[in-house]
Amino acid sequence: MAGATSMLASRLEQFASSRPHSSAIITTSSHYTYKTVLDQARMITRQLKGLPQSTRVLLLASEKPEDLIISFVAVNLAGLIPCFANPALDESSQSNARRTLRPEVVITDGFRVAKNSSAADLKMRVTRCPYGTNHAAYVGTSSGTTGLPKHTLASTPGMMEFVEWAMREFGFTCDDRWALVASPWTDMGLANIWLALSSGAALIPMWSPTDRAFFIRRARDFGITVCRTLPRLIDVARRDRKSGGPLMRLRILAFGGDYLTWGQVGVARKIAPQAEMINTYGTAETSGFVSYYRIPHHDEGIFPGGTVPIGSPAPHVALHAIREGRDGSQEIRFSGRNLPVGAIPFQGYDERLWDEICRGRWIRPTIRDSGDLGFCADGLWHLTGRADRQAKTSNGNWVNLDAVEKALARVTGTPCLSIAHKGSIYALVLGSNGRCPQDDSEHSVRIQSPDIDTIVQCKVIKCLQLPLSIAGKPDYERCRRIVEAAITKRIEDP
């Protein structure tokens, strides 16, 4: 049964043999050595042997991080594909309402194994992976804050290559103590689990949904040396003035998952004066990062704007796109970097430059295109495009541009097309109708959904003909070019 998926398990077996009493997971109430993690995982693996041969994907939905990690190892040992999902996904925010994930088997709290009725959606997505399920390390699910939850498949060769590279690049060792601050079923949490356990370090879950300031206190108590987290943790830590002195043992503090401001860097320096700080970027849902920036320790006079760069692509990085209706992926490359330009960009990023995809996304916009489906295989990082047309208006909130068009069409009485562009939503409307809003005006539309109504501001551009393809479908690329041209014209001829 075991195959390429067992590479993490192999490393754990190695540590359990050579350093059986080394700490693997430390919680407030329990202490797991590498040996106890492996022993517990093997017990669960025995249960999994009873599953039908056709079983490939198991959903891990434990509330307790340590249970989740041990289940992860167990499923890995069994040569199956663990899939991680937030157990609260069904009940969480409004945008998670239409959840699609239906895995074959669920491992919940206390390692209870429950069969589920259907694997249709997830199985379909996994088998569509061009590198085959034999290479799958795990499947992560996105939070769904941008709409339908998405599934990200990380390949074992890709993850192991990433781990080996990161250990060399950042000097991670078995003496490190990793804080697991990101929730363990997120892309960031999963990468941290892999990095910590693959390097023989101790992993200390300190994710608390109710008490973010929990981090500072626990990080000091447990002598945390490495932490990779969302920048907003720093905002919380800034307010927690009762948390005591600085974290002197923290030697690497990495950020990812959102834009990082220089102000946050300053707060982080106060919290961890000895730490090297690294800003990382992994396109949404990739488990790890594809570019990084070592933040200089002295930054007086050098920071020009509000956000910290995300640096250059990590070595061996490639981005691939999967488009609807195609088998396999096609590589995307970017001009001027180690990723030269290729023919098939991934959806939502057509004809954009690397800087636009990376740094541009990290500048605080009002509206941003959101969501990608990423995975890595054969040591390369990949990114697959999304098929829907969502624009993120803020964290946890999004609008579907199709709904925007429908709402506008009701107002104007004519078809409309809309795109998200540089922080705004632009609507192309036919100018021949008397009900059409004025050109260059801001128009509010109400988007109704079963969960929540959203008011969206659209910038209106009148046109005599909507850009359609030969097949009569909306041509959003031309739409984008029209918007660009209109913006340029306004700048030149205000």
**Smaller CB distance to another protein: residue 298 or 435?**
298
CB 270, min distance to another protein, A: 6
Contacts of 390 (CB under 8 A, 6+ apart): 146, 147, 370, 371, 398, 399, 400, 401
Binding piece for another protein, criterion CB under 8 A, among 6-14, 220-228, 265-273, 425-433 = 265-273
Asked if 217 touches another protein (CB under 8 A), the answer is no
**DSSP per position, 432-494:** TSTTSPPTT-EEEEEEP-SS--EEEEEEEEEESS--B-TTS-B-HHHHHHHHHHHHHHHHH--
Distance CA 365, CA 375 (A): 26
Distance CA 150, CA 128 (A): 14
**Smaller CB distance to another protein: residue 235 or 276?**
235
**Smaller CB distance to another protein: residue 308 or 428?**
308
What character string, x for contact with another protein (CB under 8 A) and - otherwise, covers 237-256?
Answer: -x------------------
Report the candidate in 471, 490, 467 with the shortest Cα–Cα distance to residue 480. 467
Report the candidate in 57, 61, 177, 151 with the shortest Cα–Cα distance to residue 110. 61
Residues paired with 318 in a beta bridge: none
CB 262, min distance to another protein, A: 4
**Smaller CB distance to another protein: residue 130 or 266?**
266
Encode burial over 131-150: b for 16+ CB neighbours within 10 A, e otherwise: bebebbbbbbbbbbbbbbbb
Distance CA 199, CA 205 (A): 16
Asked if 258 touches another protein (CB under 8 A), the answer is no
Distance CA 177, CA 179 (A): 7
Asked if 299 touches another protein (CB under 8 A), the answer is yes
User: Contact 95/144 with Cβ under 8 angstroms?
Assistant: yes
What character string, x for contact with another protein (CB under 8 A) and - otherwise, covers 5-44?
Answer: ----------------------------------------
Asked if 306 touches another protein (CB under 8 A), the answer is yes
Task: Give the residue, chosen from 155, 264, 279, 283, that forms a contact with another protein under the rule CB under 8 A.
Answer: 264
Question: In a 3-state reduction of DSSP, which class is residue 241?
Answer: helix
Asked if 396 touches another protein (CB under 8 A), the answer is no
Binding piece for another protein, criterion CB under 8 A, among 55-63, 139-147, 298-306, 351-359 = 298-306
Binding piece for another protein, criterion CB under 8 A, among 165-173, 295-303, 323-331, 377-385 = 295-303
Asked if 423 touches another protein (CB under 8 A), the answer is no
Task: Give the residue, chosen from 305, 315, 328, 413, that forms a contact with another protein under the rule CB under 8 A.
Answer: 305
Binding piece for another protein, criterion CB under 8 A, among 22-30, 167-175, 264-272, 407-415 = 264-272
Burial of 340 (0-12, 13-18, 19+ CB in 10 A): exposed
**DSSP element (H, E) containing 10:** helix 7-18
**Smaller CB distance to another protein: residue 238 or 323?**
238
Task: Give the residue, chosen from 125, 212, 218, 269, that forms a contact with another protein under the rule CB under 8 A.
Answer: 269
Report the candidate in 239, 267, 236, 238 with the shortest Cα–Cα distance to residue 253. 267
Q: Which two tokens stand for residue 176?
A: 């490190």
**Smaller CB distance to another protein: residue 214 or 303?**
303
Report the candidate in 317, 318, 321 with the shortest Cα–Cα distance to residue 384. 321
Task: Give the residue, chosen from 261, 287, 390, 412, that forms a contact with another protein under the rule CB under 8 A.
Answer: 261
Asked if 235 touches another protein (CB under 8 A), the answer is yes
Task: Give the residue, chosen from 31, 98, 270, 410, that forms a contact with another protein under the rule CB under 8 A.
Answer: 270
CB 268, min distance to another protein, A: 9
Asked if 393 touches another protein (CB under 8 A), the answer is no
User: Contact 224/198 with Cβ under 8 angstroms?
Assistant: no
Binding site for another protein (CB under 8 A): 232, 235, 238, 261-267, 269-270, 298-301, 303-306
